[in-house]
Amino acid sequence: MDEYKNTRRSQIRRMPAPERVMIPLSQHIGAPCTPCVAPGDTVTRGQVIGRTEGLGCPVHSSVSGVVREIAERHDARGRAVQTVCIDNDGHNTLCPDLAPYEGLLCEADPDRMIELIREAGIVGMGGAGFPAYAKISSARGKAELLIVNCAECEPFITANHRLLLENPASVINGAKILLKALGVTRGVLAVEDNKLDAANKLEQLLDGDQLLRVRVLKTKYPQGDERQLIYVLTGKQLPVGKLPADAGCVIFNAETCASVYQAFAHGMPVVERTVTVDGDCIANPKNVLVPIGTPIRDLIEFCGGYRAQPKKLLNGGPMMGQALHDPDSPVTKTTSAVLAFSEKFSPAPKEDYRCIRCGKCVQACPMHLMPIYLSQYLRAGNLEACLQYGANSCIECGCCTYICPGRVPIVQHIRVAKGKLREQKMAAEAAARRSEKEGKNGAK
């Protein structure tokens, strides 16, 4: 597979905050936040503007200014989400409550550390958006190995690579904080061999460190998938429905580690992130440090705008990213890349796709599934067979679709099947709850 890591030498450039940011109150897996500011309020950079009591973590303002409105807007995935719109006053006034962690890390109380990570709004910044504090809590006592995912295996994306080259200490220090919070004494920084310069930098800095070491992995998509990483590093296969902690591992992305370091060293919550902006339609592709809430349209302008009208805009990488319907939607904590492609990179889906039974999709599947059967059963409306053939094990890596000579949109079919299976399961659970309730009422 071509890597197209065109921006690997593009130093991270900080983008000035725009005149207005739009900060969605749901940027993580879990319950959306409830706003704790109102239109007309003055806010500072790093101030909490939304909180949730359930699974989830706070959302912070990335600029200082005045809340203009709180309204439903579409996020990059096309979901309608409550969003706080803030007019930037340009003063960049920091929230007075922000303070670095004081005290010795070796004496730190893990519960206090986990709370601090929650308060800083840290989520999986590789794209998953799972709250970091919840991952630490559930892995404590189970995990024995911390894996720092520095694979960045998707084509085009180089934001983590640049972070490892330009600020490797933040990733290493963040990983050490996580080790302490997890109560784990072993960590591995997993880097693909197309980033040997970054691996060397990390090794120099670690200099024989007892806690962390670097493992260089073969460059192979989808090496950065959690199951692949666990297998290649430990030899353990993670069954479907199991978490990495069930295999004694816990995995954090490199930028997530750097965010943990920022929170402890500077008291800074997640208010910005690095995004790769690339694709053959972008005038000046680059890696950009962007305030959360920046409209993607402004980010593209910062990269010189379009050199040609794109046929397809993507939020994320070309394999696992999703179509970006609205360029006015904002950058969030999980935006790793924005890609703009011409027809060359996004051929229109073929209406008359046809399976020639070559078997290439089966060979390409890293989860050892039968992608073609999944696609066929979905089209036949046989969800039961989709389930039996392991649709829920599909990691949506897109390898099958990429390799298919018949241009069958296999991964799209599997996504539909998984969505329908999820709906079925939820409906069955709701029905079971209803009948349980009715049973109890009848017994009274």
Contacts to ligand SF4 by CB under 6 A: 355-361, 364-367, 369, 371-372, 394-400, 403-406, 408, 410-411, 414
Long-range contacts of 341-345 (CB under 8 A, 24+ apart): 341/279, 341/280, 341/281, 341/310, 341/311, 341/312, 341/313, 341/314, 342/280, 342/281, 342/308, 342/310, 342/311, 343/311, 344/280, 345/279, 345/280, 345/312, 345/318
| Burial grade of 154 (CB within 10 A; 0-12, 13-18, 19 or more) | buried
Cβ 409 to ligand SF4 shortest distance, Å: 10
203 versus 396: smaller Cβ distance to ligand SF4: 396
User: Smallest gap, in angstroms, from Cβ of residue 374 to ligand SF4?
Assistant: 6
**Measured from the CB atom, is 68 or 407 closer to ligand SF4?**
407
Residue 3 CB, nearest distance to ligand SF4 (Å)?
18
Considering the complex, state which of residue 151 and residue 365 has its C-beta at the smaller distance from ligand SF4. 365
329 close to 350: Cβ distance less than 8 angstroms? no
* Smallest distance, ligand SF4 to C-beta of residue 127, A: 15
- By beta-carbon proximity to ligand SF4, the closer residue of 136 and 399 is 399
Helix (H, G, I), strand (E, B) or coil at 289: strand
CB of 439 to ligand SF4, least distance (A): 40
The DSSP H or E segment spanning 216 is strand 212-217
Tell me which H or E stretch contains 181. Answer: helix 168-182
Toward ligand SF4, which CB reaches closer, 100 or 405?
A: 405
- The answer to whether the CB of 40 falls within 8 A of the CB of 62 is no
Nearer to ligand SF4, 153 or 408 (CB): 408
How far is 50 from 32, CA to CA, in rounded Å?
9
Q: How far apart are CA 142 and CA 371, in angstroms?
A: 33
Least Å from the CB of residue 375 to ligand SF4: 6
Is residue 430 packed enough to be buried (19+ CB in 10 Å), middle (13-18) or exposed (0-12)?
Answer: exposed
Q: For ligand SF4, which is the closer residue by CB, 172 or 414?
A: 414
Shortest distance, position 306 Cβ to ligand SF4, whole Å: 30
The dihedral sign for the CA sequence 350, 354, 358, 361: positive
Using the minimum distance from each CB to ligand SF4, give the nearer residue, 221 or 302.
221
Nearest 5 degrees, angle CA 355-CA 358-CA 359? Answer: 100
Residues 6+ apart with CB under 8 A from 269: 46, 48, 58, 60, 98, 119, 120, 121, 122, 263
User: Judged by CB, which is closer to ligand SF4: 80, or 356?
Assistant: 356
User: Cβ 355 to ligand SF4, closest distance in Å?
Assistant: 3
- How far apart are CB 396 and ligand SF4 at their closest, in Å? 5
Quote the least distance from Cβ 227 to ligand SF4, whole Å. 10
Spatial separation of the C-alpha atoms in residues 374 and 361, rounded to whole Å: 11
Q: Which is nearer to ligand SF4, 285 or 371 (CB)?
A: 371
HSE toward the beta carbon, residue 68, CA cutoff 13 A: 14
Distances (CA, A) of 33 to 28, 59, 425: 10, 7, 26
- Contact residues for 440 (Cβ-Cβ < 8 A; gap 6+): none
